[in-house]
Amino acid sequence: MATRTFDRRRLRLGIVIAIVCGAMAFLVLKGLGDATTFYRDADEVVAKRDELGTKRFRLQGIVQPGSVRDAGADVEFVVEYHCATVPVRHEGTRPSLFKDGIPVVLEGAFASRTSNVFESDRILVRHTEEYRTKESQKAEATENERCRT
């Protein structure tokens, strides 16, 4: 008799632990929510412009060659991704690797609901898992992500 009660207690404890773990896992995955969408690509941002409004988020795109321009203390440039472009005005420092043609992640927001200029205060350079050593391979690197006209 004693063993049966002991087993039942164990089973109940096991079920409680499993439920608690399941709940924690659900919370963690839900909470990761924003962390799991670390950035939004430029084409996604253009499509969801109204939804995003003036919310702060991270924009990813490739710096359009020739678009970088100094504007006083700020710098202006255009990022593109899958044929969508977003003009950017950045205030603050730039990472040393920042230059034309590289993928960047920008933290900031659109200045207003009607403005199409993304105002950022932080630039992160995005790197892929590919390792290219020849300049000839460079164009290839962002081929899939640029516009094919």
Partner 1 sequence: MKRGTSSALTMTLGIAAFLSLTATVVVGLTLPKTIEQGDYSKLIAIHPGIAWASYVALGVTALASALWLWPRTRSITYDLLAGASAEVAVVFTSLTLITGSIWGRPTWGVWWVWDARLTLSALMLALLLGYLALRRVPAESDVRARRAAVAAMLAVLVVPVNHFAVTWWRTLHQGRSLTQLTPENDLDGSFIFAMVLGFLAMTLVYAWLTVHRLRVARLEESLVDEDLELALEARRREAVLT
CB-nearer residue toward partner 1: 5 or 133: 133
| Residues 64, 92: Cα–Cα separation, whole Å | 19
Contact at 8 Å (CB) between 74 and 91? yes
Give the nearest distance from C-beta 70 to partner 1 in angstroms.
19
Give the nearest distance from C-beta 77 to partner 1 in angstroms.
15
CB-nearer residue toward partner 1: 32 or 83: 32
Give the nearest distance from C-beta 40 to partner 1 in angstroms.
8
Report CA-CA distances (Å) from 133 to 80, 83, 130, 141, 146: 24, 27, 10, 11, 20
Give the nearest distance from C-beta 63 to partner 1 in angstroms.
13
Closest to 84 (Cα-Cα) out of 66, 60, 53, 101: 60
Interface residues toward partner 1, by CB under 8 A:
17, 21, 32, 35-39, 95-98, 102, 105, 122-135, 137-138, 140-141
Contact at 8 Å (CB) between 82 and 42? yes
CB-nearer residue toward partner 1: 140 or 147: 140
CB-nearer residue toward partner 1: 114 or 129: 129
Give the nearest distance from C-beta 47 to partner 1 in angstroms.
16
Contact at 8 Å (CB) between 72 and 84? no
CB-nearer residue toward partner 1: 84 or 102: 102
Report CA-CA distances (Å) from 49 to 27, 64, 76, 87, 95: 29, 20, 20, 13, 27
